[in-house]
Structure 1
């Protein structure tokens, strides 16, 4: 993903899967606490849906939307951790496994605490 984009600019973007089907709207962005790099987006799936975490790498912003290179069903089937708090290292690993992605080593913590993720909440208007 573009590393020069302000993560707050992702809030409110529509997210589409690899086939061009709408997944939902980005509610929150989660940053790696060690590096400050945006790592995950919480995408609201449907009007009464839940938030599903999607990896921002290898996703990309194209023409004002977030393009996620996975099928909509895979995104909707992601583990549900809720939003509004840090992702634990165990939750992060579950998400990487769910999407079949390698766990990045850049920015990995030196301690046994693992990588935690802070969040940038969406606007109050939702």
Structure 2
């Protein structure tokens, strides 16, 4: 996993699946509010004029020259919950993002959101 201080450097780089298939371009990173560690990325997918952002976990991600490789296949990521390119993830949608990848979800202390965009 790449260090949190370098996250901004990877914006716009391609995101690929374990087989090297391009999923899209890294748009933003979301950190776990409990640990302040990178947890998910949004990946810009779609065709010109119809882009959307999908969420993919960063656990197990590796950095290659010019790409970030995630451990989920392109289809799984493509079927993940989305937001508009200028949208925000609603607090009520956070559990769905985790559920899509069969990851446990718990809110932070006192019901605080689990994900924060960096």
Give the TM-score band, short-chain normalised.
0.7 to 0.9
Judging changes above 3 Å, is the alpha-carbon distance between structure 1 residues 85 and 32 closer, same or farther for their aligned structure 2 residues? farther
Q: Is the 8 A contact 1:59 1:68 kept in 2?
A: yes
> Is residue 2:63 matched to residue 1:61?
yes
Compute the TM-score of the two structures, normalised by the length of structure 1: 0.74
Partner of 2:17: 17
Q: Is the 8 A contact 1:86 1:116 kept in 2?
A: no
- Segments of 4+ moved more than 4 angstroms: 83-86
More helix by share: 2
More strand by share: 2
What's the CA shift for 1:56? 1.2
Q: Is the 8 A contact 2:17 2:74 kept in 1?
A: yes
Partner of 1:41: 41
Judging changes above 3 Å, is the alpha-carbon distance between structure 1 residues 83 and 35 closer, same or farther for their aligned structure 2 residues? farther
Compute the TM-score of the two structures, normalised by the length of structure 2: 0.78
* Counterpart pick for 1:79 among 81, 92, 95: 81
Report how many residues are paired.
Answer: 116
Greater shift, 72-81 or 58-67, is seen at 58-67
Unpaired segments ≥5 residues, structure 2: none
What's the CA shift for 1:5? 4.7
What's the CA shift for 1:23? 0.7
Unpaired segments ≥5 residues, structure 1: 121-126
C-alpha separation between the residues in 2 aligned to 1:55 and 1:74?
Answer: 11
What's the CA shift for 1:30? 1.9
Judging changes above 3 Å, is the alpha-carbon distance between structure 1 residues 75 and 47 closer, same or farther for their aligned structure 2 residues? same
